[in-house]
């Protein structure tokens, strides 16, 4: 094949070396507009996983890189005058300039044609005269721009400002310095890359950047290669204690807003994107060089394995895209964490250290416990003491999910909540034996709190004919049968979620067609404004009058009284998912011109009015939760910033905790699904509005629950599908973590099954084959010392 490579960075060079190594007959030309010894940046970091791939793909390159590596295992978090260290992470870094030299030498030795200080020919010309064109021309890719209609690129510019610098201070580990300055919180990401230097990245929120006056220094364009020396001087002044007399090095160092690059497709005919041209991921979770070299390895392998070019390029994208998307999700979580760093600066050092380690959701409680059990044990001890001081428990140390939690007079034995889930099995609003078994079974399964589905306050307030209600005394009696069972047979508490369907009512059962209108037996629906959920499909709701609002408020009050009489321990007001109270809050569904429409304050007026009426008749020692949609996932809808104000308003009115969900307000939403994808909203509300939160949304493992709680992102975790899969989820989580205590009480008849049964053949006890026992090694806390790895 004749292969053209546009861009002589590590990704392009590594591709050329690997491809030429596999087939010396390939004619490969690399064009690089800069000189061979030009490079921007200082060091590059590799994970053990990536190094394993490089080692097996080209042992020559790996051996040369290995001789250059600075290696270490520790991450140090410098915060509030303390240093929190977590070990066992495994880093390898080297000079970017030296990496380029090694790759260039390897390419020359293999016969690759390298052309420096040379612009590549027009890409159309290359595509016509070469079999394959690799576009690895960086984040500002001209090739991507040329074929934008095919690639479908999007560039998301983020809020933080950062600058790449170097220093001759050689760090001995990965360093996070989080520093309060007169202008706000700034942070340093630092790591060594050889015996003489370290990468030194300074980053801050855009508002902090402006308050510090950096915007004045950066108010003009800089020449290529020119650094912002005035900003660098101020950085040296602000971080003089860290630098400790050492020099700061510049290399095209100027302020940048990170751009997340995504492309709908990576291929245009025989032109394919690679590295930053195809995708970027925030530097806080790894190196763009690492991703580009992984791309190169995969592309070369696919070209070698597949029968033709089309199949190879399809296989390359199919293989790499899921990996990149996963990396970008983690990077997004990490960069948003740093953008919102200020909301965590009230945390104590132990919790802050755990929080920063787990910010991307890739590193978790269990993962850290495997890497550094002593670190996790220290944070567990801190959490137990901290929660006991807040009135939650006695300070007994255990997994965070098994710490008790108190709201008013309600004490939960653990932090696990069975999420509200509509079952659609009611008859005329009456809960049935199905609900008894469903909710009673989850209570027996060990959850601290079991929540009902949305229980409707009127017959026309139901979503479907199969939804439960609490608008008759008979319904209350049926509910009491369930609450009596939960209280009599388990340590769990039970909460009721009250709501009104609004414009999303009079629809089919979920498995018959979610949100689709009934074929017969329709009832009228109501809403703040006459806007149907799906125009032309769902009913046009009647706009509520003042008398209607008074009547519905009275229905909520009546249902609240019945809920108390039925024995519920907690009440949740459903103000999410586009149902009636939610549709008042969102500007997408509320277009009123009276006192209940317009500003967020006005749109909150009726939900707060209902809340006040409910709070007035709900016993003072029983808590009330509010479920909200923290975002509508729509450009014109509720935002995460709005959700903080919504939470503050309900907190001021007397709400005890916010159940933070999202979306389902409009069918035109574009949610960003992923593991624990709604937790950042709960995190922000908890740490900005100062009210307890419940996290919900694709939380499936006890590892996720422990991570969320210990990092201070939420106080309780709701799990839905996990409990449908395993009604005894909490008890099994306790068994898996070797926890036995009051927070996970097996019913007496079940205690014989409190440990996982053996399955299959297991190895018996091992004979002693050591004269001297070596003991159990502790965590490896290896630091970088030039000339050694110790």
Contact 469/459 with Cβ under 8 angstroms? yes
d(CA 745, CA 749): 11
CA 453 to mean position of chain CA atoms: 26
Q: Tally the residues of the chain.
A: 790
Q: Which secondary-structure segment (H or E) carries 14?
A: helix 10-22
The dihedral over CA atoms of 452, 457, 462, 465, expressed in degrees to the nearest 10, equals 80
Here the tokens at position 65 are 């890189």
Contact 393/404 with Cβ under 8 angstroms? yes
The per-residue DSSP string of 544-556 comes to PPHHHHHHHHHHH
Rounded to whole angstroms, what are the CA distances from 328 to 80, 102, 285, 362, 521? 30, 28, 9, 11, 47
Contact 500/527 with Cβ under 8 angstroms? no
d(CA 272, CA 161): 31
Catalytic: which of 130, 147, 191, 579?
579
Here the tokens at position 452 are 């009902």
Strand-pair partners of 86: 75
> DSSP secondary-structure letter at 765?
P
Return the residue matching tokens 């020449």.
223
d(CA 13, CA 35): 14
Rounded to whole angstroms, what are the CA distances from 580 to 504, 570, 575? 8, 21, 7
d(CA 414, CA 426): 29
Q: Which residues contact 435 (CB under 8 A, 6 or more apart)?
A: 423, 425, 426, 452, 468, 482
Return the residue matching tokens 């990496």.
99
User: Annotated catalytic, 579?
Assistant: yes
Contact 85/59 with Cβ under 8 angstroms? no
Contact 540/487 with Cβ under 8 angstroms? no
d(CA 141, CA 262): 12
Contact 487/530 with Cβ under 8 angstroms? no
User: Strand (E) positions, 146-263?
Assistant: 153-167, 174-181, 184-192, 198-204, 248-249, 256-263
The dihedral over CA atoms of 103, 105, 109, 115, expressed in degrees to the nearest 10, equals 90
d(CA 656, CA 409): 11
Return the active site residues. 579
């Amino acid at each position: 094949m004749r292969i053209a490579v546009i861009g002589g960075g590590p990704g392009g060079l590594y591709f050329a070396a690997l491809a030429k190594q596999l087939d010396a007959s390939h004619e490969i030309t690399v064009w690089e507009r800069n000189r061979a010894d030009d490079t921007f940046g200082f060091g590059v970091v590799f994970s053990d996983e990536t190094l394993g791939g490089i080692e097996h793909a080209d042992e020559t390159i790996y051996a040369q890189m290995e001789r250059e590596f600075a290696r270490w295992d520790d991450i140090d978090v410098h915060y509030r005058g303390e240093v929190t260290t977590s070990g066992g992470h495994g880093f390898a870094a080297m000079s970017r300039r030296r990496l380029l030299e090694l790759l260039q030498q390897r390419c020359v030795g293999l016969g690759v044609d390298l052309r420096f200080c040379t612009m590549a020919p027009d890409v159309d010309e290359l595509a016509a005269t070469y079999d394959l064109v690799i576009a690895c021309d960086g984040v500002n890719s001209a090739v991507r721009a040329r074929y934008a209609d095919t690639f479908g690129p999007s560039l998301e510019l983020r809020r933080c400002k950062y600058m790449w610098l170097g220093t001759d201070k050689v760090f001995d580990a990965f360093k996070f310095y989080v520093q309060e300055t007169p202008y706000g919180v700034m942070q340093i990401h630092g790591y060594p890359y050889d015996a003489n230097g370290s990468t030194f990245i300074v980053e801050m929120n855009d508002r902090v950047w402006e308050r510090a006056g950096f915007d004045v220094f950066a108010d003009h364009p800089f020449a290529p290669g020119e650094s912002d020396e005035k900003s660098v001087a101020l950085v040296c002044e602000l971080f003089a204690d860290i630098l400790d007399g050492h020099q700061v090095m510049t290399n095209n160092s100027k302020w940048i807003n990170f751009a997340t690059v995504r492309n709908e497709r990576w291929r245009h005919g025989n032109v394919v994107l690679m590295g930053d041209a195809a995708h970027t991921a925030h530097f806080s979770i790894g190196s763009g060089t690492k991703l580009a070299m992984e791309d190169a390895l995969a592309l070369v392998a696919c070209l070698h394995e597949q029968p033709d070019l089309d199949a190879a390029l399809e296989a390359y994208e199919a293989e790499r895209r899921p990996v990149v998307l996963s990396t970008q999700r983690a990077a997004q979580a990490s960069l948003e964490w740093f953008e919102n760093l200020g909301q965590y600066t009230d945390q104590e050092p132990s919790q802050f250290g755990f929080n920063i380690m787990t910010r991307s959701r890739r590193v978790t409680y269990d993962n850290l416990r495997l890497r550094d059990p002593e670190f996790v044990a220290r944070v567990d001890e801190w959490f137990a003491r901290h929660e006991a001081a807040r009135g939650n428990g006695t300070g007994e140390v255990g997994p965070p999910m098994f710490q008790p939690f108190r709201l008013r007079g309600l004490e939960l034995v653990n932090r696990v909540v069975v999420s509200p889930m509509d079952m659609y099995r009611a008859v005329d609003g009456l809960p049935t034996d199905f609900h008894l078994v469903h909710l009673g079974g989850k209570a027996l399964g060990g959850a601290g709190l079991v929540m009902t589905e949305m229980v409707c306050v009127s017959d026309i307030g139901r979503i479907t004919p199969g939804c439960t209600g609490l608008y008759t005394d008979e319904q209350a009696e049926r509910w009491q049968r369930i609450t009596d069972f939960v209280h009599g047979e388990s340590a769990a508490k039970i909460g009721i979620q009250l709501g009104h369907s609004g414009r999303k009512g009079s629809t089919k059962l979920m498995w018959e067609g979610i949100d689709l209108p009934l074929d017969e037996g329709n009832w009228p629906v109501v809403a703040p404004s006459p806007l149907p959920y799906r125009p032309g499909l769902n009913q046009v709701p009647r706009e509520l009058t003042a008398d209607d609002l008074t009547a519905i408020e009275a229905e909520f009050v009546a249902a609240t009284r019945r809920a108390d009489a039925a024995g519920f321990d907690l009440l949740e007001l459903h103000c999410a998912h586009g149902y009636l109270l939610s549709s008042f809050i969102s500007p997408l569904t509320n277009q009123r011109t009276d006192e209940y429409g317009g500003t967020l304050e006005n749109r909150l007026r009726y939900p707060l009015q209902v809340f006040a009426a409910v709070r007035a008749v709900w016993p003072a020692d029983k808590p009330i939760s509010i479920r909200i949609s923290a975002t509508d996932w729509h450009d014109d809808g509720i935002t995460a910033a709005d959700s903080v104000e919504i939470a503050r308003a309900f907190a001021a009115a007397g709400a005890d905790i916010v159940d933070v969900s999202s979306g389902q307000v409009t069918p035109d939403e574009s949610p960003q699904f992923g593991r624990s994808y709604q937790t950042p909203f709960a995190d922000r509300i908890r740490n900005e509005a100062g009210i307890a939160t419940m996290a919900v949304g694709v939380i499936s493992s006890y590892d996720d629950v422990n991570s969320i709680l210990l990092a201070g992102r939420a106080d309780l975790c709701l799990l839905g599908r996990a409990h449908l899969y395993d009604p005894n989820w909490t008890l099994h989580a306790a068994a898996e973590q070797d926890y036995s205590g009051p927070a996970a009480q097996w019913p007496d008849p079940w205690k014989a099954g409190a440990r996982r049964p053996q399955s299959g053949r297991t190895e018996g006890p091992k004979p002693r084959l050591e004269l001297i026992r070596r003991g159990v090694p502790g965590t490896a806390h290896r630091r970088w010392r030039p000339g050694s790895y110790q």
